[in-house]
Amino acid sequence: MTNPEIPATPPSAPNRVEIKVRKNGSLLVTGDFTLIDHEGREIVRPVGKPNTSLCRCGHSAKKPFCDGAHRSVGFCDPPDTPPAADTHGGGTPPAPVAPA
C-alpha cells in the first residue's frame, strides 16, 4: 500500500530506515537507527544482523525484540482497513462506526 501524498524514497538513499509490517508477525526494521527505552537509555540491538525484528504481538520474552512467540500464540493482523484520509500525516484510521 502506497500513500500517493508521501513521496517515495529511493531504496539507495543513505541513512534510510525501512520498517516492514510482517504478516501476522513482527516489525522488521532495516537501516541505521537507535532504539531507546522509556528512560532514554539505548537498547543494544543484536550484533551482526542486517535488520531488527520488533515484537508487536506483546508476547515476546525478549521485548522489544521478537522471539517468535507470535506464532505460538496465533497472533493475527486485524482485517485490512482502507487508508484513512490523511490530514496530519499520521494515517490514523477512522474510529469504527457503530452499526445502526
CB 93, min distance to ligand FES, A:
20
Residue 29 found at the interface with ligand FES (CB under 6 A): no
Provide the 10 A C-beta neighbour count for residue 96: 7
Quick one: which of 31, 59, 64, 91 contacts ligand FES (CB under 6 A)? Answer: 59
Q: Which of 25, 36, 22, 29 is nearest to 50 (CA)?
A: 29
29 or 57: CB nearest ligand FES? 57
Quick one: which of 30, 31, 67, 91 contacts ligand FES (CB under 6 A)? Answer: 67
User: Which sign does the torsion angle of CA 58, 60, 61, 64 carry?
Assistant: negative
x/- map, 71-100, ligand FES, by CB under 6 A: ------------------------------
CB 73, min distance to ligand FES, A:
8
Q: Which of 73, 92, 70, 83 is nearest to 23 (CA)?
A: 70
